[in-house]
Amino acid sequence: MVDHLAPTLLDEATVLGLTMAIDDPEVDVDPPMPWPHGEDPLLATVSVWLAAYGHRGAAEGRILAAAADDDLTVHGYLVSESLYTDYGESPWSGPRDWPDGQRSPGVLTVGLLQRPPEHERTAWVRHWHDVQSPESAELQPRTRYVRNLVVLALDSGAPPIEGIVDEAWPSKDHVRVPDLFYRGDGDPARVQAHVERMLANVTAFLDLTTFRTATMGEYLFRTPAAR
């Protein structure tokens, strides 16, 4: 994906930006919530920025062709991106100082969100964006946080996902160790209090039985702001 797919996508005139999250060899830490046994795992996400929905054909074709070579299943979504926190905007990371295409430091968790049917969409989005995002930013040491609100599934077999989130962490230990993940500062009671706050906010808009999260390596090939 890094050496072959990325260069072909970047050669497309319609591609304004490109990032990838990949289950690469350096990812040897379990996600915060285990992926269900027997369910096909999430191996990668490819984010392509385009000026218009109608420009997706060439990039889409290259991604599908690359996946076909390894007999992988691909689903596509048109999303509206919200970059909540970038590198250098939180106490946990300085500004990005590594080149395009080089693996970002630390580890990325990719979350797939489904909206429970009893939740009205506008209220669901507002809780996610206006309640859960700032609350989790206070409780957890994220270095970068990207929220993707799904506008449209691009294939009929796509799972009913309505949100895709990328959360970057300073190190694998920050995902592995609860005291670091919940900013416990060595105090088990503080960890428990933060866990309870987090669960209250998350379960207010998600059914945890449908929530999926995977650990990945992050590759920023071209960010639109850099063009």
Cα end-to-end span (Å), the chain: 22
Return phi, psi of residue 44, to 5°: -170, 160
* CA proximity to 77, closest of 167, 145, 161, 166: 161
The total of other beta-carbon atoms located within 10 Å of residue 147's CB is 23
pLDDT in tens, 61-73: 999 998 888 888 9
pLDDT in tens, 86-95: 999 999 999 9
Q: Residues 2-30: pLDDT tens digits? A: 999 999 999 999 999 999 999 999 999 99
Question: What is the three-class DSSP state of 26?
Answer: coil
Domain positions in the chain: 5-226
Query: In the prediction, which pLDDT does 227 show?
Result: 39
Spell out, as residue ranges, where the chain has pLDDT lower than 50.
Answer: 226-227
CATH, domain range 5-226: 3.30.70.100
19 to 24, 29, 125, 136: CA distances (angstroms): 14, 21, 24, 24
What is residue 225's predicted lDDT score, i.e. its pLDDT?
61
pLDDT at 226: 46
